[in-house]
Structure 1
């Protein structure tokens, strides 16, 4: 979920960033000039909520498609420790695995599971931002926080909690699609699932309705902090940057802060994301269960068999896709926002 978290921050950071920052909880609005505030409100009103969600969804889908090869490499590395011995895992590297995919599965295999990723991205983005705005409003009316609207610590707490709750809500609502995406992307030579519909039917038939929610516990533990860190780091860095250098390009600020927030959230929550992926693949194709203990037992098992570095297996391709993912998403969103604004003004 790290990528969803960071892309969500930046998508709303182009035109929607003013929407996140222009409410009562902003840490920098009262420090901006009157002219900048008016410009922010004008930019915010350029497109409506529906258009904003469409632009954000399309931008996120394009970003996911462009970085899909790195995303698949991340998943393949994350799940290696389930069935491979330590010697084989130590020999693995990004270039060797990429070469294996091309030679054994073909170049198009880099985009395995990308269709369901796009199908997951659209509702996830919508639920995430809708929930984030509403959770912020609810938190602002809490008596203790309401009296400290201008406090940086109070606003940071609001962004952190609202982002975490929004991530949990969005992840729970769209989880089966996320599970299917992992299983399709993890397939190599043996094609157990032929597509999204077949995967959903097969999982439901073989593992029951609960099979569609395998790994949900680790997901909720990880996605809340991931999105909370992304939102809070992004807004804190952006606010500080704008206070120190108010004339800098909004594009540059959003891209840099979004990338740094994505790296921060990935580093902090990657072990939970790795456990989530492995839980999602438990029992695929009738294979025996690998992990028979709870979450902490899985962590102990990974550290014992693969070492502490095993918890960060696949972190490099995850890092590599942060900047291009954020950049593509942000630029696409800005372009679509201008096109939709022109269309709305022409109607």
Structure 2
């Protein structure tokens, strides 16, 4: 058996990967929810490059810390977890699908792209990139309606646009149709393929050498996750911002915290409109908090996933051993 095949075998069965991924997503989402709300608010904030329009109106939010303070002061601490219900559902489903697909695609590559000596023809980085890209695209497309709902709930202030998750689903379905749940999907898929490909390529490349350092508490996995997320997030951030702007289009566009969100249509035209009105910097609103969020999110996700998977695989081995006695 090759080392790569042994690694796949050690990484658990499909149900074990599914459970570990769901657990990682659930815990990670709760930890980073406040930073996610701050990021979305900053991304949706539209104002000219001069920082104040001709009317002299300044942006509501300025910086991560000030945005946190502003939300707590005007909406209460609970507002930092707005959209957490659909977000938790999304993170659990996303992580489960992501890790399961990653494992399945990797196994497929190991079955098909091997030489006569059963050695994989792809380098480790290429294998991780392809598996990660496929995993990201599959998870994104499957859970996208929950992502859109998360964004809309995080964007509403004290004047609630949607009274509940069920009302939101009903109203969007009635007013915008099924397509309403998938607004912004093209830029999401365009960004997630290189993003997740880069993430898993960097993560797998960094995990092995960091593992040899024998850092306490499995911090090697967490550190690799942080490094991978920073590289991936920075590379595709403008498309993530475009996705958020498109997600809040529709009949409720003027009812969120930011009343002046422009009307956008299509990925390319949205990018052009943002650059013309806000400059290139406008495509990177919220990048700082996104990177701050990426560190704990990826660290918690990968650390929890590896620990949970290790627990499940060892428990399975002990059960098999006990049954064989």
TM-score w.r.t. length of structure 2 = 0.82
Of stretches 166-175 and 284-293 in structure 1, the one that deviates more from structure 2 is 284-293
2:272 alignment partner in structure 1: 300
Answer 1 or 2: higher relative contact order, Cα 8 Å, separation at least 6.
1
1:171 alignment partner in structure 2: 140
CA 1:283 to 1:44, structure 2 compared with 1: closer, same or farther past 3 Å? closer
2:69 alignment partner in structure 1: 99
2:257 alignment partner in structure 1: none
1:328 alignment partner in structure 2: 300
2:23 alignment partner in structure 1: 58
Deviations 1:235-269 (A, max 9, x none): 12223445xx4655582321111100000011001
Superposition pairs for residues 217-232 of structure 1, below 5 Å? Answer: 217-232=186-201
2:91 alignment partner in structure 1: 121
Superposition pairs for residues 1-347 of structure 1, below 5 Å? Answer: 23-24=4-5, 44=11, 48-81=13-46, 86-87=51-52, 88-89=58-59, 92-142=62-112, 146=115, 154-241=123-210, 245=212, 247=214, 251-285=218-252, 287=254, 290-333=262-305, 336-337=308-309, 340=312, 345=318
Q: How many Å separate the matches in 1 of 2:286 and 2:196?
A: 20
Question: Pairwise CA RMSD of aligned residues?
Answer: 3.2
Deviations 1:55-94 (A, max 9, x none): 3312321121111111110000001117999422396222
Contact 2:184 2:246 (C-alpha < 8 Å) held by counterparts: yes
Of stretches 156-165 and 268-277 in structure 1, the one that deviates more from structure 2 is 156-165
Q: How many Å separate the matches in 2 of 1:41 and 1:177?
A: 31
Q: How many Å separate the matches in 1 of 2:49 and 2:155?
A: 14
Contact 2:18 2:97 (C-alpha < 8 Å) held by counterparts: no
TM-score w.r.t. length of structure 1 = 0.78
Contact 1:82 1:290 (C-alpha < 8 Å) held by counterparts: no
CA 1:82 to 1:223, structure 2 compared with 1: closer, same or farther past 3 Å? farther
CA 1:251 to 1:214, structure 2 compared with 1: closer, same or farther past 3 Å? same
Question: Which ranges in structure 2 are unaligned for 5 or more consecutive residues?
Answer: 53-57, 255-259
Q: How many Å separate the matches in 2 of 1:285 and 1:84?
A: 25
Cα shift at 1:202: 0.8
Q: How many Å separate the matches in 2 of 1:298 and 1:195?
A: 29
CA 1:319 to 1:309, structure 2 compared with 1: closer, same or farther past 3 Å? same
Q: How many Å separate the matches in 2 of 1:131 and 1:151?
A: 19
Q: How many Å separate the matches in 2 of 1:204 and 1:148?
A: 54
CA 1:315 to 1:185, structure 2 compared with 1: closer, same or farther past 3 Å? same
Q: How many Å separate the matches in 2 of 1:302 and 1:147?
A: 53
